Structure 1
Amino acid sequence: MKLRTVTATRYVTPLREGGSLPAIVEADDDGMYVLKFRGAGQGAKSLIAELMVGEMARSIGLPVPEIVFIDLNPDLARTEPDPEIQDLIRASAGLNLALDYLPGSITFDPVAGTADAELASRIVWLDAYATNVDRTARNANMLVWHRNLWLIDHGAALYFHHTWTNYLQRSKDRFPAIKDHVLLRFATELEAVDSKMSEQLTPQVIESLVNLIPESWLVENTPFSQPDEHRSAYIEYLYARLEQPRHFLEEAIRARPLAL
Structure 2
Amino acid sequence: MTEPLRTVQVIRYVTPLREGGSLPAIVEANDGFLYALKFRGAGQGVKALIAELIAGEIARALGLRIPEIVFAYLDPILSRTEPDEEIQDLLKASGGLNLGLHFLSGAITFDPLVTTIDATLASQIVWLDCLVTNVDRTARNTNMLMWHKELWLIDHGASLYFHHSSQNWQEQSQRPFVQIKEHVLLPYASALEEVDTIARQILTPERIRSIVALVPDEWLAIEPSVETVGEQRQIYTQFLEARIAASEVFVKEAQHARKALI
The TM-score with structure 1 as length reference comes to: 0.97
1:206-221 to structure 2, matched below 5 A, reads: 206-221=208-223
Q: Distance in 2 between matches of 1:19 and 1:230?
A: 25
How many pairs align? 260
State the 1:126 CA deviation.
0.5
Is the Cα contact below 8 Å between 1:110 and 1:140 reproduced in 2? no
Is the Cα contact below 8 Å between 2:174 and 2:246 reproduced in 1? no
Per-residue displacement from partner, 1:129-182 (whole Å, max 9, x unpaired)? 110000000000000000110000000000001124311011111010000001
**Residue in 1 aligned with 2:72?**
70
1:159 to 158, 161, 182: 161
1:1-260 to structure 2, matched below 5 A, reads: 1=2, 2-244=4-246, 246-260=248-262
Is the Cα contact below 8 Å between 1:33 and 1:99 reproduced in 2? yes
Q: Distance in 1 between matches of 2:194 and 2:56?
A: 23
Q: Distance in 1 between matches of 2:14 and 2:83?
A: 12
Match of 1:242, SS state, is: helix
State the 1:258 CA deviation.
2.7
State the 1:242 CA deviation.
1.4
Structure 1: gaps spanning 5 or more residues: none
Q: Distance in 1 between matches of 2:78 and 2:11?
A: 8
Q: Which sits farther off after the overlay, 131-140 or 241-250? A: 241-250
Residue identity opposite 1:163 in structure 2: S
Q: Distance in 1 between matches of 2:142 and 2:20?
A: 12
Is the Cα contact below 8 Å between 2:196 and 2:247 reproduced in 1? no
Q: Distance in 1 between matches of 2:259 and 2:28?
A: 45
Match of 1:156, SS state, is: coil
Is the Cα contact below 8 Å between 2:50 and 2:215 reproduced in 1? yes
Q: Distance in 1 between matches of 2:175 and 2:222?
A: 25
Q: Distance in 1 between matches of 2:227 and 2:60?
A: 31
Q: CA RMSD in A?
A: 1.2
Is the Cα contact below 8 Å between 2:37 and 2:101 reproduced in 1? yes
Is the Cα contact below 8 Å between 1:34 and 1:101 reproduced in 2? yes
Residue identity opposite 1:143 in structure 2: L
Per-residue displacement from partner, 1:65-100 (whole Å, max 9, x unpaired)? 000000001111112111111101110011000000
Is the Cα contact below 8 Å between 1:3 and 1:69 reproduced in 2? yes
Q: Distance in 2 between matches of 1:224 and 1:207?
A: 22
User: Which stretches of structure 1, 4 residues or more, deviate above 4 A after TM superposition?
Assistant: none
Per-residue displacement from partner, 1:216-239 (whole Å, max 9, x unpaired)? 000133533421111111111111
Is the Cα contact below 8 Å between 2:21 and 2:42 reproduced in 1? no
Is the Cα contact below 8 Å between 2:122 and 2:188 reproduced in 1? yes
Q: What percent identity do the matched residue pairs reach?
A: 58
